Chain A
Amino acid sequence: MNNSKIGFVESVSIAIIVMISHILLNLPNEILSSTASAGPLNVIYITILATIIFLFFNKLFSPFKGKDILDVAEFVGGSILKKIISIIYTLYFIFVAGILILNFSNTLKTIYLPDMPTELLCLVFILIALIANQYGFKNVSRTNAIVLPFIIVTIIIIFFSLSVHFVPERFFPVLGYGTNNTFVLGITNIFAFGEILLLFLIRSNYKEPKESKKIGLTSIIFSGLILFLSVTALLLIFPFATGGEGVLSIYMITRSIQFGKFFQRVDALFILIWVLVFFAYLSVVLAFAIKITNKNTKTPTSNIPAFLICIGIFIVTLIPQNIAQIRFVENVIYKYACLIIVFGMSFIILLLGYLKKNKKSLIEGKF
C-alpha cells in the first residue's frame, strides 16, 4: 500500500462505483418499495441529508489532516480500539462484497449462464479481484476511474432511451405512501450512501488532502444524480407495485430499450458494462479490506491478507441458500449494518476523536 496516493478523479470514481454497483442490483427497487411514487423525492431528500452528514463528518475530521478513520480510532482508544474497528470494517466489507457478488452471479446465471454453478461464477469474480489487487491499490483505483465514464454513459443512455416509454402519471401521488414514509421512515434509505465510509478510509491516500471536502461532495452529488435517474426511470417504466418484484430491476428496464427495428434487445450490451462495474467494485472492496488488515497487522505484503479475505468473501457467498435469503440479507441485514457501522459507529469515533483533540488543544493552550 505504499506509494498509493490517488488523485481527485480516482477518489471520486471509487465512491461512485460502489454506489452504482448497489444501484445495478436492487437499490432503486428497495427505495421504491418503501416510498412508492415518492422515490425520486426521497432520493433528493437523502442526497441532501447525506451531504449534510458528510459536511458534519468532514468538520469532525478537520483536526485530523491526512489521517483516516482508523488513525482517529487509534487516537481515541489506542491500538485496541483501532484493532476492533479494523476487524469490524473488514468483516463489513467481506459481508457486503460476498452478498453483492452472490446476487449478481445469481442474476448472470439466470439470464445467460444457466449451466454454470453460481459458486463458480462467484469464484471467478473473486479470483479476478484477487488478480487485480496484485497490481496495487493505485492501479485498482485508476481502473475504476476508466470504467466509471462508461457506466455513467450507460445509465444516461438507459434513461433517455426509455424516455419514450415513460408514463409521467406514475409520479403521482408525489408523496407516495405519505410524508411519514417518505421523510421519516425513508431516512433509512440513506444507507444508499454507504460509500461515505470508503471516503473516510482513503483520506490518508489523497494526493491533495485539502480536496477531501470537494471529493466527498462530488461523490455524493454524482451518486445522488445517478440514483435519481435510476429510480425515476424505474418508476416511470413500471408501476411501483410490480417494479419491486423484478430481479435486477435496472436490467429489467433495459429490456424495453429499442433502437429502431434493427436493435430490439440490447440489454446484453449493458451486462458487459455491468460486469466491468462489478469487477471494479469487488477489486475496490478487496483493496480496502487489504488496506485495513495491513494497517492493523502491519504486514508488509498484501498477498496473505488478500487470500484470506477472498476466502472470507467466498464463504459469505455460500451462506444464503436461496434468492429469498439473499434478498433478506441485502435489504435488511446489509441496510442496518450499513446504518450502524457507517453512520453510527463511525460518527461516534469521529465525535470522540474531535472532542479529545479539542480538549487536548485546550489543555495545551492553557499551559
Chain B
Amino acid sequence: MKIIKKLKEFFYTLTQNQEGYNFTISKEKTSESQPEDLLKKQSIYPSLEVNLDYIKARYNTLINSDIKIREFILNAKGKQFKSFLIYIDGLVDTTSINDFILNPLMIKNFSNQTNEPQIFSEAITNNISVRKVKRFNITDYIYECLLPQNSVKKISSFDEIVQNINSGNCALFVDTINFAFDIDIKKFAQRTISEPKNEPSVRGSQEAFVENLRTNTSLIRRNINNENLIIENIVIGKTNKNNCAVCYIKDITNSSLVSEVKYRLNNIDVDYVLSSSELIQLIKDDPETTLPEILTTERADKAVASLLQGRVIIIYNGSPYALILPVTLFDFFTSQEDVNLNYHFSNLLKVLRGIAFFITLLLPGLYLAVTIYHRELLPTELLYSIVASRVNVPFPIVVEIIMMELSFELIREAGLRVPSPLGSTVGIVGALVLGEAAVSANIVSPILIIIIAITAISSFTIPDFSLGFHLRIARFGYTLLGALCGFLGIGIGIFIHLITLCSLNSYGVPYLSPYMPKSNIRNNGYLLKPVWKRENRSDFLNTKRTKVQNDTSMKWRKE
C-alpha cells in the first residue's frame, strides 16, 4: 500500500512540476464591484491635479497608447491657469486642436494680456459716462473668447465627458474650474458614400449608407427638406456606449409608434451591441421567429421613402444599414427600384416575385409529393420522362433532393465566404459538380437538377436577404413534409405557416396587413398604383396625416 501511495505522490509531483502554457479565463467578477464604477458617478473636481490623476487612472494612460493628454498653461487676461487637454489620437482633427484650441488658449497677444474689464456698452449723457462692464469670469471668458469652435459644452460629470471623449471629442480641464469644456472636433478615416452593393438600382439614387452615424443622418436630412424630421440619439450598451439615431417625421408618424421604438431601445440592458443586425434581434416583436419583422436597407432613398410614409428609421452607429419599422410581409417583396419604374413594369416584377416566393418555398416539396404520392397529377409523357431519368439513380427521391439541396447550400455558403477572386472558382466547381458530374455518375436525375436550379434562381429574386433565409429553412420543412405524406404534409406546412404569419406583429402592425386583418387597401396593397393615384399613406400605420396628395395631383390636366 505504501508503495502505491508513494507512486501516486511521485506521479502527482511529476505532473505538478510540468511547465506549460495553461491559460484559463479568470472567473473573477472584476467589472461588477470595482471602485471605478463608483467613481463613474463622480463630478469633476476644482483641482486640476485630482482631475488629471482621475483621468489617467480611468484611461489607463500608462498602457493606453492612443490616449493623448496635453498639459499646458492657459493665458487669459494676463492670468495663467494650469490646464490639460485630453483626446484620443485618430478620432480627432489634430490641425483643429493646434490652430483653434491650443493656439488661442496659449498665445499671449495684447488683448489677452490686459486685465481691463470687458465693456458691454457705454452711454454718455451730460458728460457723464455710463459703462456697462462685465466682471471678469474665467469660465465665461474661455467659453466666449478663447474657444473658436462651433460646438463647445460645459460638462460637470466625468461619466459624460468620458463618453464624449470616446466618441471623438476632446476635453479641456482648467485648474479651479469644476467642469470641463467638451469640444467637438471629430475627424476620423471613414468609408466614403458609395453605391449600394446589395440593393442595386438602375434608375434610383446611387447613395448608400456608410458606417458613420452622422454621415447617414445627413443623407436622410439632405433628402427630407422639412424641419419636422426628428433625429433623436439613444445610447445603447453599458460597456460599449454606442449611439443609435431614431428618425421620424413628427407631424406624420404615429406618436405611440415612436414611443414604443424609444421605449424598446431605452430598455436594452446589454454590455454591447455590435451591429444593427444584433439590435434587430433585441427589439423585434417575436425573437424566436425566423421571419424578419424589421426591414433593413442600405439605400438612403428607401429609408427616406419609409420616413415619408410614416415609418420610423433606426440608424446604428457602425452599421451601414438602416432599420425600417413597422413592416408587413409584403414590404419584403418591394424593391426601391419599383417606384422608379412605370407602375406596369413594377407590378409585373412584383407578380414575378410573388410567384418566385412560392416556388422557393414549395417546389422541392411539391415535386416530392407529386412523384411519390400523386403521380396521376402528372401527364403521362412527363411521368415517363421522370421515371426514365431516374432509372439509374440508386437513391430514393427524397434522399436525392436533400442531397442536392445541401450541396447547393454548401456552394452558396462557400461562395460567400471565400475571397472574391475565388468566388467564380467555387461557382464553376459547383456548377460542374451539380450539373455534369452528379448526373453522369447517376447520383441524381437531370430533372432534379432543373427543380433545384429553378428553386435557387427563384430564391434570388426575393429582394430581402433575411426573408430568403426564412424561405431556405422553411423549404427543408416542406420537403420533409411532402416526402412524409404528400399533399397532406404540404397542407400541414401551409396551415402552420399561415397561422404563424397571422400571429406575427411588427410594432403593433399585423404582419399580413393590409390583407389580414383587412384594412383599407387604397394604395397600400401588394401591387403599386400609378404615382398620381397614390393618395393615401398606409392605413395600418395610423399616421397623423393620412393624405399624401389630393385626388387631383396633376392640376395642369384640368386646364
Contact = CB atoms under 8 A, between A and B. Distances in A.
A associates with B: yes
B495 A132 contact: yes
A116 interface: yes
B552 to A, nearest CB: 32
Max count, chain A CB within 10 A of own CB: residue among B488, B503, B512? B488
Interface string A57-93: 0000000000000000000000000000000000000
Given A7-B517, A113-B485, A263-B379, A132 B499 contact: yes
B492 interface: yes
A247 to B, nearest CB: 17
Given A124-B492, A263-B379, A265-B376, A275 B487 contact: yes
Contacts of B486: 112-113
B488 A268 contact: no
B487 A143 contact: no
Interface string A97-131: 00000000000100011001000010010001001
A108 B486 CA distance: 11
Contacts, number: 91
B376 A276 contact: no
Interface residues of B, number: 27
B490 interface: yes
B363 to A, nearest CB: 14
A143 B492 contact: no
A311 to B, nearest CB: 20
Nearest to B380: A264
A279 B491 contact: yes
Nearest to B376: A265
A132 B500 CA distance: 9
B149 to A, nearest CB: 55
A7 B516 CA distance: 10
B495 A108 contact: no
Interface string A1-36: 000000101100000000000000000000000000
A190 interface: no
A214 interface: no
A85 B362 CA distance: 45
A10 B517 CA distance: 8
Residue from B370, B373, B488, B499 with most neighbouring chain A CB atoms (10 Å): B499
B377 interface: yes
B70 interface: no
B374 interface: yes
B502 A275 contact: no
B103 to A, nearest CB: 66
Interface in B512-533: 512, 515-518
Contact of A279 (B495, B512, B516, B518): B495
Contacts of B502: 135, 139, 142-143, 146
A351 interface: no
A140 interface: yes
Contacts of B370: 268
7 contacts: A131-B496, A135-B502, A142-B516, A146-B498, A275-B492, A275-B495, A279-B492
What 9 pairs between A and B have smallest CB-CB spacing? A275-B491, A268-B374, A142-B502, A272-B487, A265-B376, A279-B495, A139-B502, A135-B503, A139-B503
